[in-house]
Amino acid sequence: MSRVAIVGAGLAGLTVARHIGDSAQAVVFEKSRGPGGRMATRRAPPFAFDHGAQFFTANEPAFIAAVRSWQQAGVVKIWQPRFAELDRRTVVAERDWDAEHPHFVGTPGMNEIGRYLSSGLDVRLQTPVESVNPRGSGWQLIAADGADLGVFDWLIVTAPATQAAALLPESFAHHRALSDTQMQGCFALMLGFNQPRQLPWQAALVRNADISWVSVNSSKPDRPAPFTLVAHSTNAYADAQMDEPLESLQQHLCAELRDVTGIDAKHADFCQLHRWRYANIAAQSGSAALIDAERRLAACGDWCIRGRIESAFSSAMTLAEYLRTALQRTRPSSHD
Protein backbone atom coordinates (compact mmCIF):
# COMPACT_ATOMS: atom_id res chain seq x y z
CA MET A 1 0.00 0.00 0.00
CA SER A 2 1.25 3.52 -0.82
CA ARG A 3 2.42 5.67 2.07
CA VAL A 4 1.30 9.30 2.18
CA ALA A 5 2.84 11.89 4.50
CA ILE A 6 0.61 14.85 5.35
CA VAL A 7 2.20 17.86 7.01
CA GLY A 8 -0.31 19.74 9.19
CA ALA A 9 -3.29 18.58 11.25
CA GLY A 10 -5.50 21.58 10.53
CA LEU A 11 -8.79 21.06 8.74
CA ALA A 12 -7.09 20.63 5.35
CA GLY A 13 -4.61 17.97 6.49
CA LEU A 14 -7.19 16.02 8.48
CA THR A 15 -9.69 16.18 5.60
CA VAL A 16 -7.15 14.79 3.13
CA ALA A 17 -6.19 12.02 5.56
CA ARG A 18 -9.80 11.01 6.17
CA HIS A 19 -10.85 11.10 2.53
CA ILE A 20 -8.03 9.13 1.01
CA GLY A 21 -9.30 6.45 3.39
CA ASP A 22 -8.04 2.97 2.75
CA SER A 23 -6.48 3.81 -0.63
CA ALA A 24 -3.20 4.57 1.19
CA GLN A 25 -1.53 4.53 4.56
CA ALA A 26 -1.61 8.17 5.69
CA VAL A 27 0.53 9.64 8.46
CA VAL A 28 -0.19 13.21 9.61
CA PHE A 29 2.67 15.22 11.15
CA GLU A 30 1.70 18.21 13.29
CA LYS A 31 4.11 20.55 15.01
CA SER A 32 1.65 21.73 17.70
CA ARG A 33 0.47 19.96 20.84
CA GLY A 34 -3.03 19.45 19.44
CA PRO A 35 -4.81 19.14 16.10
CA GLY A 36 -7.03 21.84 14.56
CA GLY A 37 -4.50 24.40 13.33
CA ARG A 38 -6.09 27.84 13.15
CA MET A 39 -9.37 26.38 14.45
CA ALA A 40 -7.80 26.92 17.85
CA THR A 41 -8.84 27.27 21.49
CA ARG A 42 -6.66 28.66 24.29
CA ARG A 43 -7.62 27.35 27.73
CA ALA A 44 -6.60 29.32 30.83
CA PRO A 45 -8.98 28.01 33.51
CA PRO A 46 -11.55 29.20 34.31
CA PHE A 47 -11.36 30.96 30.93
CA ALA A 48 -11.33 29.63 27.37
CA PHE A 49 -10.92 31.56 24.11
CA ASP A 50 -11.27 30.73 20.43
CA HIS A 51 -8.34 32.92 19.47
CA GLY A 52 -8.17 31.81 15.82
CA ALA A 53 -11.22 31.17 13.64
CA GLN A 54 -14.37 32.57 15.24
CA PHE A 55 -17.17 30.75 13.42
CA PHE A 56 -17.87 29.40 9.96
CA THR A 57 -20.59 29.20 7.38
CA ALA A 58 -21.31 26.36 4.94
CA ASN A 59 -22.36 26.91 1.33
CA GLU A 60 -21.18 23.99 -0.82
CA PRO A 61 -23.15 20.71 -0.63
CA ALA A 62 -20.11 18.61 0.39
CA PHE A 63 -19.25 20.97 3.23
CA ILE A 64 -22.89 21.26 4.32
CA ALA A 65 -22.97 17.44 4.56
CA ALA A 66 -19.71 17.36 6.55
CA VAL A 67 -20.97 20.03 8.96
CA ARG A 68 -24.22 18.14 9.43
CA SER A 69 -22.24 15.05 10.46
CA TRP A 70 -20.20 17.16 12.91
CA GLN A 71 -23.45 18.52 14.37
CA GLN A 72 -24.75 14.98 14.77
CA ALA A 73 -21.52 14.04 16.56
CA GLY A 74 -22.08 16.98 18.92
CA VAL A 75 -18.85 18.81 18.08
CA VAL A 76 -20.51 21.71 16.23
CA LYS A 77 -23.45 23.94 17.15
CA ILE A 78 -25.10 27.05 15.74
CA TRP A 79 -24.11 30.33 17.41
CA GLN A 80 -26.85 32.98 17.48
CA PRO A 81 -25.41 36.19 18.86
CA ARG A 82 -26.72 39.72 18.56
CA PHE A 83 -24.45 41.04 15.79
CA ALA A 84 -23.45 44.69 15.35
CA GLU A 85 -21.45 46.68 12.83
CA LEU A 86 -19.56 49.44 14.57
CA ASP A 87 -17.86 52.59 13.37
CA ARG A 88 -15.52 52.74 16.31
CA ARG A 89 -18.04 53.18 19.16
CA THR A 90 -21.12 53.92 17.05
CA VAL A 91 -23.46 51.07 16.11
CA VAL A 92 -24.25 51.53 12.40
CA ALA A 93 -26.19 48.28 11.90
CA GLU A 94 -27.52 45.48 14.10
CA ARG A 95 -29.25 42.16 13.67
CA ASP A 96 -29.64 38.72 15.23
CA TRP A 97 -27.78 35.86 13.59
CA ASP A 98 -30.41 33.17 13.22
CA ALA A 99 -30.62 29.49 12.34
CA GLU A 100 -31.83 30.28 8.83
CA HIS A 101 -28.32 31.49 7.84
CA PRO A 102 -26.34 29.46 10.35
CA HIS A 103 -23.01 30.51 11.81
CA PHE A 104 -21.36 27.40 13.23
CA VAL A 105 -18.83 26.99 16.04
CA GLY A 106 -17.01 23.97 17.43
CA THR A 107 -18.15 22.94 20.91
CA PRO A 108 -16.99 23.29 23.59
CA GLY A 109 -14.24 25.06 21.59
CA MET A 110 -13.25 25.53 17.96
CA ASN A 111 -10.40 23.05 18.40
CA GLU A 112 -12.89 20.26 19.12
CA ILE A 113 -13.44 19.82 15.38
CA GLY A 114 -9.76 18.97 14.87
CA ARG A 115 -9.82 16.60 17.79
CA TYR A 116 -12.90 14.84 16.41
CA LEU A 117 -11.50 14.55 12.88
CA SER A 118 -8.21 13.14 14.20
CA SER A 119 -9.79 10.14 15.83
CA GLY A 120 -8.79 6.91 14.13
CA LEU A 121 -6.03 8.63 12.12
CA ASP A 122 -2.29 8.24 12.59
CA VAL A 123 -1.53 11.79 13.78
CA ARG A 124 1.94 12.48 15.21
CA LEU A 125 1.65 15.59 17.38
CA GLN A 126 4.57 17.81 18.41
CA THR A 127 6.43 16.65 15.32
CA PRO A 128 7.58 19.62 13.24
CA VAL A 129 8.78 18.51 9.81
CA GLU A 130 11.96 20.46 9.17
CA SER A 131 13.14 19.20 5.79
CA VAL A 132 12.39 16.84 2.96
CA ASN A 133 14.86 14.81 0.86
CA PRO A 134 14.29 12.83 -2.32
CA ARG A 135 14.75 9.12 -1.64
CA GLY A 136 14.29 6.76 -4.61
CA SER A 137 11.01 7.92 -6.14
CA GLY A 138 9.68 8.93 -2.72
CA TRP A 139 10.33 11.54 -0.04
CA GLN A 140 12.13 11.24 3.26
CA LEU A 141 10.93 13.54 6.04
CA ILE A 142 13.26 14.85 8.74
CA ALA A 143 11.97 16.30 12.02
CA ALA A 144 13.28 19.48 13.66
CA ASP A 145 15.26 17.35 16.14
CA GLY A 146 16.92 15.50 13.25
CA ALA A 147 14.81 12.34 13.61
CA ASP A 148 14.11 10.37 10.43
CA LEU A 149 10.30 10.34 10.10
CA GLY A 150 10.30 7.81 7.28
CA VAL A 151 10.05 7.61 3.51
CA PHE A 152 6.73 8.19 1.76
CA ASP A 153 5.41 7.78 -1.78
CA TRP A 154 3.52 11.07 -1.64
CA LEU A 155 4.16 14.24 0.35
CA ILE A 156 1.22 16.56 1.00
CA VAL A 157 1.88 19.90 2.71
CA THR A 158 -1.06 21.78 4.26
CA ALA A 159 0.88 24.41 6.21
CA PRO A 160 0.19 28.10 5.43
CA ALA A 161 1.59 28.99 1.99
CA THR A 162 4.87 30.60 3.09
CA GLN A 163 5.69 27.68 5.39
CA ALA A 164 4.70 25.19 2.67
CA ALA A 165 7.03 26.96 0.22
CA ALA A 166 9.89 26.71 2.72
CA LEU A 167 9.36 22.97 3.15
CA LEU A 168 8.64 21.80 -0.38
CA PRO A 169 11.65 21.37 -2.70
CA GLU A 170 12.15 24.01 -5.37
CA SER A 171 11.60 21.26 -7.95
CA PHE A 172 7.91 21.26 -6.94
CA ALA A 173 6.12 22.26 -10.15
CA HIS A 174 4.05 24.94 -8.39
CA HIS A 175 6.81 26.33 -6.19
CA ARG A 176 6.64 29.76 -7.81
CA ALA A 177 2.87 30.06 -7.32
CA LEU A 178 3.26 28.93 -3.72
CA SER A 179 6.06 31.40 -2.98
CA ASP A 180 4.03 34.24 -4.49
CA THR A 181 1.04 33.54 -2.25
CA GLN A 182 0.87 36.23 0.43
CA MET A 183 -1.07 35.61 3.61
CA GLN A 184 -1.97 38.29 6.14
CA GLY A 185 -1.31 38.39 9.86
CA CYS A 186 -3.60 39.05 12.80
CA PHE A 187 -3.25 39.64 16.55
CA ALA A 188 -5.81 38.05 18.86
CA LEU A 189 -6.46 39.79 22.17
CA MET A 190 -8.04 37.59 24.85
CA LEU A 191 -9.66 39.04 27.98
CA GLY A 192 -11.26 37.05 30.80
CA PHE A 193 -13.39 38.50 33.63
CA ASN A 194 -14.60 36.79 36.77
CA GLN A 195 -17.41 39.38 37.00
CA PRO A 196 -19.82 39.59 34.04
CA ARG A 197 -19.69 42.69 31.79
CA GLN A 198 -22.53 44.26 29.84
CA LEU A 199 -22.47 44.73 26.08
CA PRO A 200 -25.50 45.30 23.81
CA TRP A 201 -24.15 42.75 21.29
CA GLN A 202 -22.10 39.53 21.35
CA ALA A 203 -20.32 39.82 18.00
CA ALA A 204 -19.19 42.94 16.18
CA LEU A 205 -17.36 43.97 13.05
CA VAL A 206 -15.47 47.19 13.69
CA ARG A 207 -14.53 49.90 11.19
CA ASN A 208 -12.00 52.71 11.54
CA ALA A 209 -10.03 51.08 14.33
CA ASP A 210 -6.99 48.82 14.60
CA ILE A 211 -9.33 46.08 15.77
CA SER A 212 -11.70 44.63 13.20
CA TRP A 213 -13.67 42.10 15.23
CA VAL A 214 -14.85 41.65 18.83
CA SER A 215 -16.79 38.69 20.17
CA VAL A 216 -18.11 37.65 23.54
CA ASN A 217 -16.54 34.23 23.39
CA SER A 218 -18.53 33.07 26.41
CA SER A 219 -21.78 33.66 24.45
CA LYS A 220 -20.98 30.73 22.17
CA PRO A 221 -22.69 27.43 23.01
CA ASP A 222 -21.21 25.18 25.72
CA ARG A 223 -18.46 27.62 26.77
CA PRO A 224 -17.34 27.99 30.39
CA ALA A 225 -19.44 30.59 32.25
CA PRO A 226 -16.92 33.38 33.00
CA PHE A 227 -17.21 36.35 30.65
CA THR A 228 -14.58 36.28 27.90
CA LEU A 229 -13.85 38.62 25.01
CA VAL A 230 -11.78 38.01 21.88
CA ALA A 231 -10.72 40.96 19.74
CA HIS A 232 -8.85 40.62 16.45
CA SER A 233 -6.62 43.29 15.01
CA THR A 234 -7.00 44.33 11.40
CA ASN A 235 -4.73 42.43 9.03
CA ALA A 236 -3.14 45.74 7.98
CA TYR A 237 -2.21 46.61 11.58
CA ALA A 238 -0.80 43.12 12.16
CA ASP A 239 1.28 43.14 8.98
CA ALA A 240 2.73 46.56 9.84
CA GLN A 241 3.52 45.62 13.47
CA MET A 242 4.20 41.88 13.11
CA ASP A 243 7.58 41.76 14.84
CA GLU A 244 7.02 44.43 17.50
CA PRO A 245 7.10 43.30 21.16
CA LEU A 246 3.77 41.76 22.21
CA GLU A 247 3.62 43.91 25.35
CA SER A 248 3.36 47.24 23.53
CA LEU A 249 0.97 45.80 20.94
CA GLN A 250 -1.25 44.48 23.72
CA GLN A 251 -1.35 47.92 25.35
CA HIS A 252 -2.37 49.57 22.11
CA LEU A 253 -5.03 46.99 21.25
CA CYS A 254 -6.45 47.16 24.81
CA ALA A 255 -6.79 50.94 24.35
CA GLU A 256 -8.55 50.39 21.02
CA LEU A 257 -10.87 47.85 22.65
CA ARG A 258 -11.70 50.27 25.48
CA ASP A 259 -12.51 52.96 22.97
CA VAL A 260 -14.78 50.67 20.94
CA THR A 261 -16.53 48.77 23.76
CA GLY A 262 -16.03 50.86 26.89
CA ILE A 263 -14.53 47.77 28.55
CA ASP A 264 -11.24 48.46 30.30
CA ALA A 265 -8.67 45.66 30.20
CA LYS A 266 -7.30 46.81 33.55
CA HIS A 267 -10.36 45.18 35.15
CA ALA A 268 -9.66 41.88 33.38
CA ASP A 269 -8.57 38.84 35.39
CA PHE A 270 -6.79 37.45 32.32
CA CYS A 271 -5.27 39.31 29.39
CA GLN A 272 -3.09 37.85 26.65
CA LEU A 273 -2.17 38.58 23.04
CA HIS A 274 -1.52 35.93 20.40
CA ARG A 275 0.40 36.62 17.20
CA TRP A 276 -0.86 34.90 14.04
CA ARG A 277 1.79 35.46 11.38
CA TYR A 278 -0.31 33.70 8.73
CA ALA A 279 -3.99 34.16 9.54
CA ASN A 280 -6.03 34.99 6.45
CA ILE A 281 -5.90 35.50 2.74
CA ALA A 282 -8.11 37.34 0.27
CA ALA A 283 -10.00 35.39 -2.43
CA GLN A 284 -7.61 33.64 -4.85
CA SER A 285 -8.15 32.81 -8.51
CA GLY A 286 -5.72 29.88 -9.00
CA SER A 287 -6.14 26.12 -8.57
CA ALA A 288 -8.03 24.73 -5.57
CA ALA A 289 -5.00 22.51 -4.80
CA LEU A 290 -1.42 22.40 -6.15
CA ILE A 291 -0.54 18.94 -7.46
CA ASP A 292 2.74 17.76 -9.01
CA ALA A 293 1.85 14.25 -10.14
CA GLU A 294 5.29 13.54 -11.57
CA ARG A 295 7.12 14.19 -8.30
CA ARG A 296 4.23 13.07 -6.09
CA LEU A 297 4.14 16.33 -4.21
CA ALA A 298 1.09 18.43 -3.41
CA ALA A 299 -0.03 21.36 -1.30
CA CYS A 300 -3.47 22.49 -0.23
CA GLY A 301 -5.16 24.66 2.37
CA ASP A 302 -7.47 27.65 2.69
CA TRP A 303 -4.85 29.83 0.98
CA CYS A 304 -5.60 28.15 -2.38
CA ILE A 305 -9.12 29.64 -2.29
CA ARG A 306 -9.78 32.13 0.54
CA GLY A 307 -9.03 32.45 4.25
CA ARG A 308 -12.08 30.51 5.38
CA ILE A 309 -12.70 27.17 7.06
CA GLU A 310 -14.94 26.08 4.19
CA SER A 311 -12.12 26.91 1.74
CA ALA A 312 -9.66 24.70 3.66
CA PHE A 313 -12.17 21.86 3.38
CA SER A 314 -12.85 22.42 -0.34
CA SER A 315 -9.16 22.64 -1.20
CA ALA A 316 -8.47 19.43 0.73
CA MET A 317 -11.38 17.60 -0.90
CA THR A 318 -10.11 18.57 -4.36
CA LEU A 319 -6.74 17.06 -3.52
CA ALA A 320 -8.18 13.99 -1.77
CA GLU A 321 -10.38 13.16 -4.75
CA TYR A 322 -7.39 13.41 -7.08
CA LEU A 323 -5.26 11.26 -4.76
CA ARG A 324 -7.85 8.53 -4.34
CA THR A 325 -7.84 7.96 -8.09
CA ALA A 326 -4.07 8.33 -8.46
CA LEU A 327 -3.34 5.97 -5.57
CA GLN A 328 -5.65 3.31 -6.95
CA ARG A 329 -3.82 3.53 -10.30
CA THR A 330 -0.25 3.47 -9.02
CA ARG A 331 1.64 0.85 -7.08
CA PRO A 332 3.95 1.87 -4.27
CA SER A 333 7.55 2.44 -5.29
CA SER A 334 10.54 0.74 -3.73
CA HIS A 335 12.67 3.14 -1.71
CA ASP A 336 16.41 3.11 -1.18
Ligand X SMILES: Cc1cc2nc3c(=O)[nH]c(=O)nc-3n(C[C@H](O)[C@H](O)[C@H](O)COP(=O)(O)OP(=O)(O)OC[C@H]3O[C@@H](n4cnc5c(N)ncnc54)[C@H](O)[C@@H]3O)c2cc1C
**Contacting residues toward ligand X, per CB under 6 A:** 7-13, 29-32, 37-39, 52-56, 128-129, 158-160, 163, 167, 186, 188, 232, 276, 279-280, 301-302, 307-309, 311-312
Closer to ligand X by Cβ: residue 167 or 320:
167
Least Å from the CB of residue 141 to ligand X: 9
Secondary structure E strands in the chain = 3-7, 25-29, 42-44, 47-49, 76-78, 82-87, 90-96, 104-106, 122-124, 129-135, 138-143, 148-152, 154-157, 184-193, 203-207, 211-216, 227-233, 270-280, 290-292, 297-299
Beta carbons of 176 and 187 less than 8 angstroms apart: no
Least Å from the CB of residue 230 to ligand X: 9
Closer to ligand X by Cβ: residue 24 or 141:
141
Least Å from the CB of residue 194 to ligand X: 25
Closer to ligand X by Cβ: residue 15 or 332:
15
Beta carbons of 70 and 23 less than 8 angstroms apart: no
- Contacts of the segment 290-294: beta carbons below 8 A, 24+ positions apart: 290/172, 290/173, 290/174, 290/177, 290/178, 291/174, 291/319, 291/322, 292/172, 292/173, 292/174, 293/326, 294/173
Closer to ligand X by Cβ: residue 167 or 257:
167
Least Å from the CB of residue 156 to ligand X: 11
Closer to ligand X by Cβ: residue 254 or 309:
309
Least Å from the CB of residue 245 to ligand X: 20
